Chain A
Amino acid sequence: MITFVLICVWFVLAYFIALHALYLFLIIIGALQVRRYQKGITFAEFERIAASDLTMPVSVIIPIFNEESIAVATVQNALALNYPKHEVIVVDDGSTDKTMAELVEAFRLFRVEKQGQKHIPTREVLGSYGSVEHPNLLVVTKENGRRGDAINAAVAVSKYPLLCVIDADCVLESDGLLHMARPFLRDSKLAASAGVVRPSNGLQLKGGRIVGQGLPKSLLGLSQEIEYARSFQWARIGLCRLQSMLCISGALLLIKKSVFEAVGGSWPNAITDDIEFTIRLNKHIHDRRRDRTQHLEFTPDAVCYTEVPEKFRQYASQRNRWQRGTLQALLRNWKMMLNPRYGMSGLFGMPFFLIFEAFSAIVELLAYMLIPVTLILGLAGAWEIALMLYAAYITGVCLTLSAILLSETGRLRAASWQDFWKMIAAVFLDNLGFHQWHLINRVLGTFQYLILRRTDMGLHMERLSPNTATP
């Protein structure tokens, strides 16, 4: 028994050191990558892209399900993007609330016939609608499927060679699409580009445009703000450099239509279609049996803001779903695991996601469970446990501060000193309860997926009233 506990303790310690060392490594690589990216931007380049007839047109795809409170604002934001030529395709995935009615009223929709190129089968499309005021807006209604099915339906009717998939609650910076499209203009081998995702809670909007920055009001929201900065921004840039970015957030993806179709589109049964799709995308472009000339890129200055849950119940459900989705995606593409055929994505990306993303919660829970066990068995005293806990806590703080340091040197720095101090407070408070709550939900998600085979989408996200986001 004691030997087993000892093995567990040493395993947890080794895991903890490896995890933090890897994250630090990824953050450093991410910072170097961003520096290189910024050096590559030429003077007035984005103005040139915006004015050029040669910029590749983009189809912006917004899958929507029961989003009556935010649908209109999101579509307005997408229509107001500063881009030479883009269309907005909204797919109402069988909403049962007033989403469609709101859209019809706001954009004066009328029915149109639309025959797309249907390469990927989807649930039945019920109708297509154009807008009197916005000729570049198309709304498609279809039978309820999942997000992936809705995206596939939109791709079938899209006209342009680039697809930008965003979430229903996303707010893009007005030049965001220009920044995302830039790498495609420079590199014909680029398959897809991902952008930075940050919480939108606290953002101020007017007519679909961002007019003021801000932070979430609750501590839970702030905790997610620093989590997004640390894990979803810097670490992912590092992973991308290592050709191992297996999760491009569904909140912001720009991809060539030809590549999307070649990959087979989104998997309609996915719990989190973005992770599953990105893994298959990596599988497609890194497969040694193909020419392997394509690649993915992270665009560090393209920012999309997405609403994060500020209620514990909603947060729990979201993290539970993400955990189940990650496991589902990894297991579905298990063939890639440690398979040299898929290059770095198989040899490093897949094991990294499995060990340090999917199973990190289990290992951390094991660490917490070992505390009473070691105390009872007399293997460690209270002082030693406290010391270890403090070491773990301060390592996390140190890592997060590194991410904040990098953010402060760029344009994604906190908007005011007040916001800055809130962020710093969140860095120190995050590990004192919020992180553990996150952990419990992920462990539950793991159990529910692996043992109970739960594959539903969890609670539907309750949106903040649009007034809270508008000054």
Chain B
Amino acid sequence: MEILSPTIIKIVIQAAIALTFISLLLLGIIIAIRWGTDRKQRISSDYRKEAKLFVMGFITGKITKEESLEVLKENLKEGLELLLEIGNSLSEEERKRVRILCAALPFEEEQLDLLESRHWENRRRAAESLGYVGGTASVAPLKAALSDGILIVREAAARALVAMGCVDAVESIVLALDAPGEMAERRAAEVVTVLGDGAVDPLLSMLDQKGVKYTPTSIKIVIRALGSLRASEAVPALVRLLKNSEFTIRLNSVRALGLIGDASVIPEIAELAEDLPWEVRNVSVQALGRLQATERIPLLVRALGDPSWWVRFSAAQALYALGEPGLRELQKSMSAHSDRYARDMSRQILQEHRLLERNSIPSAL
């Protein structure tokens, strides 16, 4: 009796031959891909090296526009990538020179067409590219792209508009990037912040508009952006928001006020050091340290005994940030605070900042 019938043996032989053939084919493909990739990389690297010299020469005024364009036209695809790369590494002022080159090449039209593509990857890439190579003709399509169904495309369009300095698009950008989750909020605020001081007025008008109802997320994006921009004009509006019923809005407002650094709001911030959610207490204590609120030292010492580890940690860091008077209190708390955890935290912070006697190296050694 045989395990394998002649039919099965035939199938196995055919399978083995087929697999041998496939393996050899795969090997051939791998070698071809490897060879092709090497060659492509070599050509691309040589071209980029040369083209970069011309583009940088044009930016610094040593080479004429025509000479640079001639080199870029030799390989438009690589040329666009190179201009994006260079544009990304330059300041806005220098980037204007790159835009001159781009305007003379068919990049913008091509990318505007791609912005209408059915594939979101193409739309995203086009929006990204237009931020560097687009001119005034790109602004309206990019604003329209802020209502794209895919968040990542909207974000790319927002970044492009910001790179082009479109201050009038702030409200649309905030609304376009209104998505759930803290990271999304932070990313949206970061995008708006790139516009610098020019974004402050449109952001403030969003907080002041009585008739318009924005979502809590949009409000938080605005607050974060104002804080990052250190916009002192925003203080009255932010102080009003400290009374908001949504704790995340209170939390972001305190954080923003701490960043802005206006000491006149210390009493309002101190009130929130006893708020119910620990996150608000934590940020409030951090802000007091940042604002050098020496008159609130007793409150910070009390916060050393807070039930939340993070609040205790931030209170100790805030006391450290207050300098001499805060350090005195930390030293006192280390031995005299009624709460054991407060004593431990005081010791830890003093140790971390190397303010206690140092036990040099491990005793075991």
Contact = CB atoms under 8 A, between A and B. Distances in A.
Interface of B: 1-4, 9, 12-13, 15-16, 19-20, 22-23, 26-27, 29-30, 33-34, 37, 84, 88, 121, 124-125, 128-129, 152, 156, 180-184, 186-187, 189-190, 228, 309, 341, 344-345, 347-348, 350-352, 354, 356, 358-362, 364-365
A44 B88 contact: yes
Contact of B351 (A104, A113, A187): A113
A117 interface: yes
A432 interface: no
Contacts of A9: 3
B88 A188 contact: no
Contacts of A414: 34
Given A110-B360, A380-B4, A130 B29 contact: no
Contacts of A374: 3
Given A39-B121, A54-B186, A188-B184, 10 more contacts: A44-B88, A104-B365, A110-B361, A127-B362, A384-B9, A391-B12, A391-B15, A394-B19, A397-B19, A401-B23
A387 B1 CA distance: 18
- The contact size tier of chain A is 35 or more
A111 B362 contact: yes
A387 B9 contact: yes
A131 to B, nearest CB: 11
A387 B12 contact: yes
B255 to A, nearest CB: 12
7 contacts: A47-B88, A54-B190, A115-B347, A141-B364, A379-B3, A401-B26, A405-B26
Interface of A: 2, 6, 9, 39-40, 42-44, 47, 52-54, 56, 100-101, 104, 109-115, 117, 126-127, 129-130, 141, 184-188, 374, 378-380, 384, 387-388, 390-391, 394-395, 397-398, 401-402, 404-405, 408-409, 413-414, 417, 420, 424
A384 B362 CA distance: 67
Contacts of B309: 117
A110 B354 contact: yes
Provide the main secondary structure of the chain B interface.
Answer: helix
B128 A43 contact: yes
Contact of B352 (A112, A186, A401): A112
A390 B15 CA distance: 11
B9 A141 contact: no
Contacts of A39: 121
B187 A43 contact: no
Contacts of A40: 121, 152
Contacts of A109: 361-362
Contacts of A186: 183
A42 B152 contact: yes
A369 B179 CA distance: 60
A126 B125 CA distance: 53
A100 B189 CA distance: 44
Nearest to A94: B364
Contacts of B20: 394
A391 B4 CA distance: 14
A405 to B, nearest CB: 5
A222 B30 CA distance: 18
Nearest to A383: B9
B148 to A, nearest CB: 14
A401 B362 CA distance: 52
A397 B24 CA distance: 10
Q: Which residue, A54, A186, A404, A417, has most C-beta atoms of chain B within 10 A?
A: A54
Nearest to B125: A43
Contacts of B4: 380, 384, 388
B187 to A, nearest CB: 7
B364 A100 contact: yes
A418 to B, nearest CB: 12
A115 B344 CA distance: 7
A2 B88 contact: no
B30 A404 contact: yes
Nearest to B35: A417
A221 to B, nearest CB: 21
B348 A113 contact: yes
Contacts of B22: 398
A188 B128 contact: no
A100 B361 CA distance: 10
A86 to B, nearest CB: 17
Contacts of B26: 398, 401-402, 405
Contacts of B37: 408-409, 413
Contacts of B361: 104, 109-111
A365 to B, nearest CB: 19
Contacts of B1: 2, 378-379
B362 A141 contact: yes
Nearest to A127: B362
B23 A413 contact: no
B365 A188 contact: no
Contacts of A384: 2-4, 9
A100 B27 contact: no
Contacts of B34: 408, 413-414, 417, 420
Contacts of B345: 115
Given A104-B361, A390-B16, A54 B23 contact: no
A294 to B, nearest CB: 13
B10 to A, nearest CB: 11
A112 B347 CA distance: 9
Contacts of B12: 387-388, 391
Contacts of A115: 341, 344-345, 347-348
B33 A111 contact: no
A40 B15 CA distance: 39
B4 to A, nearest CB: 6
A100 B363 CA distance: 11
A114 B187 CA distance: 33
B33 A185 contact: no
B23 A188 contact: no
A399 to B, nearest CB: 10
B257 to A, nearest CB: 17
Q: Name the residue among B33, B34, B181, B190 with the largest chain A CB count within 10 angstroms.
A: B34
B100 to A, nearest CB: 21
A76 to B, nearest CB: 19
A387 B16 contact: yes
B89 to A, nearest CB: 9
A114 B348 contact: yes
A100 B182 contact: no
A117 B309 CA distance: 7
A395 B20 CA distance: 8
Nearest to A394: B19
B27 A401 contact: yes
A46 B187 CA distance: 14
B347 A405 contact: no
Contacts of A112: 348, 351-352, 354
A408 B182 contact: no
State the 10 A-B residue pairs at the shortest beta-carbon distance, nearest first. Answer: A188-B181, A111-B359, A113-B351, A401-B26, A115-B344, A54-B186, A112-B351, A394-B19, A391-B16, A43-B128
Nearest to A401: B26
Nearest to A423: B30
B358 A387 contact: no
Nearest to B184: A188
Nearest to B352: A112
